[in-house]
Amino acid sequence: MKARELRDLSAAELRQKEQDVTAELFNLNFQHATGQLENTERLPQVRKDLARVKTILRQKNAAQPKAR
């Protein structure tokens, strides 16, 4: 997942993507703990994807003017 692709998404789509990636990370951690995970390289990759999504979502929220 590229940051360029994520920047094109809306805030709602980014929140949905964050939920999806968080669920995937949970499943991978569960599989890793039970010894069922075959591709262990996927764990750091998903963590980085989650960090990218959160960073871009935070940037989009910071760019919006605050309503009082």
Closest CA to 18 of 46, 59, 60: 46
Using a cut of 0.85, tell me whether the model's pTM lies above it.
yes
Q: How far apart are CA 51 and CA 15, in angstroms?
A: 12
| pLDDT one digit per residue (tens) for the chain, 68 residues | 788 999 999 999 999 999 999 999 999 999 999 999 999 999 999 999 999 999 999 999 888 877 66
Length of the chain: 68
Full DSSP string of 4-51: HHHHTS-HHHHHHHHHHHHHHHHHHHHHHHHT--S-TTHHHHHHHHHH
